[in-house]
Amino acid sequence: MQLRRWRSSTAGQPTHEVIAVIRKINPCLFEASSRFPPRDELLVQFPLRVTENYLFKEGMGNATRRFVFDADAIATLKDKAKSKSVPNPSRTEALSAFIWKSYTEACRSLSALPRPSVSVHAVNIRQRTEPRFSRYSIGNLWMNAMTACELADTKIELNDLVSLTRESFTNINNDYLKAFQGENGSQELSGSLLKQLVEIGSRNPEIFLFSSWLQFDLNAVDFGWGKPIWVGLTGEVGRPRGWTNVTFFKQTEKNNEVEVWMTLDEKIMSVVERNAEFCKFSTPNPSIFVPHASS
């Protein structure tokens, strides 16, 4: 929304249209903070700092790669991911479960004693509360949906991972979020985070983070010189301290095609890149250049 407002004010859009957008946004500036009052307390900061230690690593050898999954690949993965419990997997569920499966299999191959594998999805909570938040609501309105896979000597099935992922999404609902609202909400949230961290930390798992930007529609933002043909992602990668084992999804200019940015431990990445099944469905770093139409 902020990008579109910025676009409207810089691309020569009529003033009355810009004002109309601002009027939609302004009433929502404090909507989130009124229901989730901000707190700056040790009780809140401590679990967040512990969480950061899981997400950011010091001096690790990481690698970042870009892959594209076309519409046919995604349709096939969605079909493979179907089950009685999830007959209609979304592209995010199917694709993230497939990639998580590839990561987990890579970890298995690298260790005689593989650790449990946990996927963590950033979930937008704007549409999961009652009453729902406006799409213009300002704030970090997201929560982590965690899914654990114990590494037994059994084959990892895609549809099983999708079922686990769907369950973790479904659990973030209005009843769950009610406890974190109001004056005591920060204490409840801290307690919930600490409980998750203790449970996860006791098993010393491999943690893989996923964030889907597929609904952001970044390719539609026009600042006056045309819509972008490509929007890339960037960020610090592992040195000296940065994201590790993180995966982002974004839309390409083509319908139903997904661009995936992966930052992994170099050893894990090396195995994933050689995984025959992964290579079958993905295209590594395809050209972003679009040829001009002939006149």
- 199-232: buried (b, 16+ CB within 10 Å) or exposed (e) per residue? ebeeeebbbbbbbbbbeeebbebeeeeeeeeebe
Mean local confidence (pLDDT), 102-118:
88
C-alpha torsion 218→255→143→128, nearest 10: 110
Q: Are 36 and 249 in contact (CB under 8 A)?
A: no
CATH superfamily of 2-284: Chloramphenicol acetyltransferase-like domain (3.30.559.10)
Mean local confidence (pLDDT), 209-229:
79
Closest CA to 169 of 149, 188, 143, 189: 143
Can you give the pTM of this predicted structure?
0.82
In percent, the amount of the chain with pLDDT more than 70 equals: 75
CB count, 10 Å around CB of 239? 12
Give per-residue pLDDT as tens, 143-163. Answer: 888 888 876 657 789 999 999
Write the CB contacts of 73 (distance below 8 Å, at least 6 apart in sequence). Answer: 281, 282
Write the CB contacts of 114 (distance below 8 Å, at least 6 apart in sequence). Answer: 107, 108, 151, 206
The answer, yes or no, to whether residue 85 has pLDDT greater than 70, is: yes
More confident residue, 54 or 204: 204
Give per-residue pLDDT as tens, 55-83. Answer: 555 556 888 899 999 999 999 999 999 99
* pLDDT value, residue 240: 47
Burial class of residue 26 in the structure, from the number of CB atoms within 10 Å of its CB (0-12 exposed, 13-18 middle, 19+ buried): exposed
* pLDDT value, residue 51: 61
